[in-house]
Amino acid sequence: MDTAEVLAGAQATMSADRVFGTPFEKDGVTVLPVASVGGGGGGGDKGQGDAGVGFGLRARAAGIYVIKDGKASWRPAVNVNLVIAGGQLVAIAGLLTLRAYLQSRS
């Protein structure tokens, strides 16, 4: 397989079709799903037929556009796991600060 071929395929993968999903309509409301997509690739040839190529792609839900009565509004996707993890980090930091404060008073 040719390195240029793989990279051309990778470039084709990074298209708007990966970012914007197929819109659908329900009860007079049109919904357009949106994703955040990123990736990269590379390859090399050391000569004498020793070639390598790689590609990575990452996609996550970003949100949806809701179109109702001719007006579009954005509804972001919420990663609940990330929100919970952030809350736990804040709680841990608060407890460590409280412990240090109480130890300094003794």
Q: Looking at residue 3, what is its pLDDT?
A: 65
Q: Looking at residue 43, what is its pLDDT?
A: 73
- Per residue in 50-90, pLDDT (tens digit) is 777 777 778 888 899 999 999 999 999 888 888 899 999 99
Q: What is the mean pLDDT of residues 90-94?
A: 96
Task: Inform me whether the pLDDT recorded for 19 exceeds 90.
Answer: no
Give Cα 86 distance to the centre of its chain: 17
Q: Looking at residue 106, what is its pLDDT?
A: 76
Instruction: Report whether 73 contacts 63 (CB < 8 A).
Output: no
- Per residue in 30-42, pLDDT (tens digit) is 999 998 888 777 7
